[in-house]
Amino acid sequence: MNKTVELPPTEIEVEELRQTSYNATLIQRIDIHEELALFRIQPDSAVVPFQPGQYLTLGLGYWESRVSNSQAEVLEPKQWRKVVKRAYSISCPMLDSMEQLAPCSQLDYYEFYVTLVRRAEHPPALTPRLFQMQEGDRIFAAPRIVGTYVLDGVGPDDDVVFFATGTGEAPHNAMSAELLHRGHRGRIVSATCVRLRRDLGYLAAQTRLTVKYPNYVYLHFTTREAENTNPGFHGFVGKQHLQQVVESGLFEAAAGLKLDPKRTHIFLCGNPAMIGYQPPGAPPLTSPGMLQILRQRGFHDHGSDGPGQIRFEKYW
């Protein structure tokens, strides 16, 4: 008896798979540079209400093409007709075209802040396909939005500090816009660390926001610019990881705010090394992360939702 040989889907099959698998459209793509972009995705049905800071799963079929110079990928026949999915925190534009605040609750689309990953321990499946998309292309967006990294327990007069690396800034954008939309009276500080200044995808909007709202501060730090890596460069400051700027006192001086556990909520999102997360059984950390530094200052990452709480989201 001859064994049936499974073949990749034909062009006709691909169109059928797209029709049955996808339920949303890429309505706008804003490229920050060739490996960083904002994707605005509109579901076929209405946008689902959600809490800022939560995440949504996106998906594209393995049958879709990938950007050039990506790590080689070998698919098994069982993957040819499958959809690869990954969860992304929902961001927001911060300000609209009229320079008015643009919280997620007023948008009819979801915004995502995504870095193209060309190579990894295993061949990246989703972002090389996502970065092939053009406006008008179709995609899968999960009907449910989930996550516990939210603003529960934040009072209107509390200080809120967000620390992020790279695209870990996304949920903080959504939460900052929501706080300002509520008329939050406490201080809000959003601090982001990136390799290069070109990786600050929201810098223009964030700068305008700090002018518009006196209680909002946006701080950005880099690790790979000339002033970070070249001791002979005029204005050399060394690598400015968030852990270092907090321990040195630079953060509090720049923010004009004291990290006081009696009135401050802390949110951490991004590189696990920045967070200082140590899963059970993992080897000791080579250097302290924000969790270790903040615990020494009286903050805690468990217990009540009031001030002094550290919430964190591991972004990979």
Confidence of residue 93 (pLDDT cuts 50, 70, 90): very high
- Confidence at residue 242, expressed as pLDDT on a 0 to 100 scale: 98
Alpha-carbon distance 58 to 75, whole Å?
20
Rounded average pLDDT over 63-71:
95
Percent of the chain surpassing pLDDT 90: 90
Q: How confident is the model at residue 279 (pLDDT cuts 50, 70, 90)?
A: confident
The whole-number pLDDT of residue 7 equals 87
pLDDT digits (tens, 9 = 90+) for 73-89: 999 999 999 999 999 99
Query: How many of the other CB atoms lie within 10 Å of CB of 215?
Result: 15
Give Dmax over CA atoms of the chain in angstroms: 77
Reported as a pLDDT band with limits 50, 70 and 90, residue 280 is: confident
| Residues 103, 177 contacting (CB under 8 angstroms) | yes
Q: Which whole-number Å values give the CA distances from 212 to 103, 106, 163, 207, 215, in the listed order?
A: 15, 19, 21, 9, 9
Quick one: pLDDT band at residue 286, thresholds 50, 70, 90?
confident
Residue 92: name the closest of 29, 215, 208, 177 by CA.
177
Per the prediction, the chain carries an average pLDDT of: 95
Note the pLDDT of residue 3: 59
pLDDT greater than 60 at residue 271: yes
Least confident of 93-102, 192-201, 280-289: 280-289
pTM metric for this prediction:
0.95
Instruction: Specify the pLDDT at position 4.
Output: 64
Question: Distance between CA 85 and CA 127 in Å, rounded?
Answer: 10
Given this model, what pLDDT does residue 83 score? 98
Question: Residue 41's beta-bridge partner residues?
Answer: 26, 110
- For the cut 70, the answer to whether the pLDDT of residue 2 exceeds it is no
Q: Is the pLDDT of residue 71 over 60?
A: yes
At 302 the pLDDT is 75
Averaged pLDDT for residues 113-130: 95
The mean pLDDT of 129-147, rounded to a whole number, is 97
- Indicate whether 5 pLDDT > 70: no
Q: What is the pLDDT of residues 223-253, one digit of tens each?
A: 999 999 999 999 999 999 999 999 999 999 9
Residue among 116, 140, 141, 119 nearest 129 (CA): 116
Q: Could you give the 3-state DSSP secondary structure of residue 59?
A: strand
